[in-house]
Structure 1
């Protein structure tokens, strides 16, 4: 495809009178189904034919993933004219594709002792987004010394856009973007295809088709349409738009947050979400309701220092607004407030109970997806903006969820977490009468 040919042409430019490649590293960021692994195969086999005794290695998030890509390359080589002059060793743990002249294509697991005592001419890292910064640094420490004496050495990184776990890839992407913006000539050849970060409608398939480099070549708009129907909005934007919905730099793409800003008042029925800081220095109450245009929205109701005010204020809000739900994570920092609300019998509180880690993951996913789809808004408030800026994510049960860790400056995303819980309560109110009310009577 044209994009693949362009990447190969630029990445394999030579310098110093044809004695080395111009770029020591190559970073290719494209949507899924664009053909990035189809590009890697000829790049790796080219190196094995070009450089005598070339040592070419491949890795991915897991060794099995790297083996799958290696096996696909082997099958293509064996079906080509190269099949008559290459040999293959498939034994697990010692796999290798061997070329005339002593060149080899092998795979390795992304571990600390990887490539120990090896020299390499090309190392390919597939799906770079899946590596965190610690593993990324470990990989570079393993790879870099192996190329110190190799004339034609390169590292190729190929990946789709990542998420909050992509703490290795995102800073590299930002550095490459900055170099391009400043017209700097760095050592990395950087290529990126995807929908613009200021895309107004992240559900518009025409935008995806216009920016996906394989549409019209190997896939059709119908493929995008089918995939969109099977995936949530945020994951579809990342996979097929190469769009960073979240990253190491932000919990939610700033453009998505800005598109969700609203000023109109909320209407009922409402739900309340509650969160406090882990050190008890403050707490937030957020309401979820409906805007005049029919969209659901969240609004910061109260944010104060300390937590002594929280339960009395919640009881007052419940009496006044009769919410459909009040969501307080019983395993989070506000568990004492949850306990106090569940044990008092003066005011019937529609607590979302039980509320588990699985519910928190669901609340996180629904919050992000609804903002991406444009079906949820937030009433503009500086404290909500501040909470978003300091928010990060963590991994629970192999899924992303908002983190409760404060920044080094003491900022905490409590208001954003409360908004997420309020929205969950509005969408999943507890059954009426599920919580019995205890009273007393005299004969």
Structure 2
């Protein structure tokens, strides 16, 4: 029987939870009281995270070096972040707190929120020396020297900063490059702490979140808490294909009790009516399960990679000085879930072909504007899209005279896709292709496999956690160099 939604409140304790067992005290209560002084009243689940995350051992060190909060969007994780940052600045004496997000606009919004809290509290405002929000720095600095810096994650951002506390927002988009830039900043700190905040894993971009989650699951399975990780996850355990009718061991996406299990702010910030409408709108696409019920896809560390093209063969074709020469062809592809998309280019280079991932970003809203910029700059011989793939929906807008490119998009047929894949593979084996050794393309190749297509084959993902849109994009772009297009006299580079 399904629960009555109007009678439910969100679960104030996470479904998956582990934390270091040894501690003497916690600064969580003081952090909650400080947040209230600033006008931020925290819900019980938010207070619980701070109580656990700010536990201290007898030697004064944090019980948990890493704290990971994984819960569906719009539940109020920002409140926990703000309370932790206020505590770091005004209670704990942390000299430098670094707040990072995948995109700087997210970090800027976080700055504006905590700025409002501080300015609204005279006791805190009088301790502030300056607040900067310009093109070079976004930060809050106290008269005593403590600083909270807001940055976007990249291979260089945060490098050289010795942070007492690192806050990593949008941790479902967090890979090795960002961790390599940020983790060493804490090595010289006496008592560092690292906080991750995000929602359910979205596949390959969720590399670090997947590692944290595996550690938590291993600790729960073994019955032995991880000695340095506090992990909080609000999610459901969904039904699988093997479930028998009436299965009571897994959670039903249509049951309001499942909504409550995954959303601690149900009945506080989120209404059952909204979730009911959200469920009806999103249907069976899987997006509802990920975004509202916390059912993610997480990459593994398994070694069964590079099944089609060997890693050594691919790396040998990397050339840092390579670049596409005119004429060039562009292609667009995206993941079936529409979580990520790629724009790729191909052009001639030293008797062969150069391929490159021009842009690879989350979402799809950025594609049209970026395509217009590239089209104006490069004047390519063609744009290629597989109309049967997820990017096929972009074709009408791209062909539109006013809001698009105003050109006909080359649309592949099944035989064209097979030919493109075969030609790409041959170019690699014949060493007639160059690339820049870009991580998105290497990751796609590492996780790609073949799928039959008539008597030939096409690219396929080995699992839902693999994003092969960069690989499909460069394959179609290379094919686009030789396809017949409307303009006359276009050279054939193949």
Q: TM-score surpassing 0.5?
A: yes
Deviation at 1:412, TM superposition (A): 4.4
**Partners of 1:116 and 1:418 in 2: CA distance:** 37
Q: Partner of 2:196 in structure 1? A: 157
Following superposition of structure 1 onto structure 2, how do residues 293-332 of structure 1 map, counting pairs within 5 Å? Answer: none
Q: Is the 8 A contact 1:52 1:101 kept in 2?
A: no
Q: CA deviation at 1:34?
A: 1.4
Note if 1:121 corresponds to 2:164: yes
- In structure 1, the gaps of 5 or more residues are 251-276, 280-354, 365-399, 421-443
Aligned to 1:8: 50
- Which of 236, 248, 269 lines up with 1:218 in the alignment? 269
Question: Structure 1: how far apart are the matches of 2:94 and 2:193?
Answer: 15
Give the alignment's TM-score, normalised by structure 1. 0.55
2:287 to 232, 235, 255: 235
Stretches of structure 2 that go unaligned for 5 or more consecutive residues are 1-42, 240-249, 302-306, 310-383, 394-439, 462-494
Count of residue pairs brought into register by the alignment = 274
Name the CA distance, whole Å, in 1 between partners of 2:229 and 2:291.
Answer: 24
Alignment partners' CA distance in 2, 1:29 and 1:158: 6
| 1:73 paired to 2:73 | no
Q: Does the alignment pair 1:107 with 2:150?
A: yes
Deviation at 1:225, TM superposition (A): 1.7
Q: Distance in 2 between matches of 1:49 and 1:406?
A: 46
| 1:281-311, Cα deviation, whole Å (9 max, x unpaired) | xxxxxxxxxxxxxxxxxxxxxxxxxxxxxxx
Distance in 2 of aligned mates of 1:177 and 1:99 = 40
SS in 2 for 1:97: strand
Q: Which digits, 9 at most, give the CA deviation of each residue in 1:164-206, with x for residues without a partner?
A: 2323322321222112221233211111111124445334344
Q: Does 2:177 match 1:138?
A: yes
User: Matched residues in 1 for 2:446 and 2:183: separation?
Assistant: 35
Equivalent-residue separation in structure 2 for 1:239 and 1:404 (angstroms): 24
Specify the alignment match of 2:259 in structure 1: 208
Q: Distance in 2 between matches of 1:140 and 1:97?
A: 24
Q: Deviations over 1:14-65 (max 9, x none)?
A: 0133x21111111110111211111100101101123436101111111121
Report the counterpart of residue 211 of structure 2 in structure 1: 171
- Structure 1 residue 125 displacement after superposition: 0.6
Question: What secondary structure, in the 3-state scheme, does the structure 2 residue paired with 1:20 have?
Answer: coil
CA distance in 1 between counterparts of 2:49 and 2:200 reads 17
Instruction: Please report the TM-score for the alignment, with normalisation by the length of structure 2.
Output: 0.50
1:211 CA drift (Å): 3.2
How many Å apart are 1:103 and its aligned residue?
0.8
* 1:240–1:20 distance in 2 versus 1, CA, 3 Å: same
Deviation at 1:2, TM superposition (A): 1.3
In structure 2, what is the Cα distance between the partners aligned to 1:405 and 1:90?
A: 40
For residues 93 and 226 of structure 1, do their structure 2 counterparts lie closer, same or farther at Cα, with a shift above 3 Å needed?
A: farther
